Amino acid sequence: MFLNRVQRKHIFLIVFFGLLFLFIAGISLGCELATKKEQPAMDEKWNLTFATGFELSMFVHEDVFMPFFDEINKKTDGRVVIDYYFDGELYGHIDAFDAVNRGMLDITYGSLSYFIGYHPSLEYGSLFFLISEEDFISNYKETYEMTDQLLRKSNAKLLTLMPMSRNAIITVSEVTKPRDIEGLRIRGASAGEISLIEEYGGIPASMSPGEVHDALDKGAINGVFSVLEGIRQMHWQEVADYIVYPTGFPVYCVAMNFDVWESLPDDVKQVIEKASENLFDLTMELGPKKDRETLELFEEAGKHINILSDEKYKFWREQTQPVYDNYLKNSEEAGEGDFARRILEMYR
Question: Average pLDDT of the chain?
Answer: 89
Per-domain boundaries in the chain: 46-164+250-290, 167-249+291-346
Confidence of residue 17 (pLDDT cuts 50, 70, 90): low
Radius of gyration of the chain (CA): 28
Given its phi and psi angles, is residue 77 left (phi above 0), alpha (psi -120 to 50 degrees) or beta? left
Q: What is the average pLDDT across 180-200?
A: 94
Given strand 203-205, what is the order of strands in its sheet?
203-205, 185-187, 223-227, 167-171, 242-245, 304-307
Q: What is the average pLDDT across 26-36?
A: 51
Distance CA 160, CA 255 (A): 7
Contacts of 312 (CB under 8 A, 6+ apart): none
Omega before residue 209 within 30° of 0, cis: no
Distance CA 282, CA 32 (A): 43
Distance CA 100, CA 49 (A): 10
Contact between residue 339 and residue 331 where contact means Cβ atoms under 8 Å apart? yes
Q: Is the pLDDT of residue 24 over 70?
A: no
pLDDT of residue 5: 52
Q: What confidence tens digit (pLDDT) does each residue in 120-138 have?
A: 999 999 999 999 999 999 9
The architecture in CATH of the region 167-249+291-346 reads 3-Layer(aba) Sandwich (3.40)
- Least confident among 5-9, 62-66, 214-218, 333-337: 5-9
Distance CA 112, CA 119 (A): 9
pLDDT of residue 37: 46
pLDDT of residue 273: 98
pTM score, whole prediction: 0.85
Q: What is the average pLDDT across 229-241?
A: 90
Strands (E), 181-332: 185-187, 203-205, 223-227, 242-245, 252-257, 304-307
pLDDT of residue 58: 84
CATH superfamily, domain at 46-164+250-290: Bacterial extracellular solute-binding protein, family 7 (3.40.190.170)
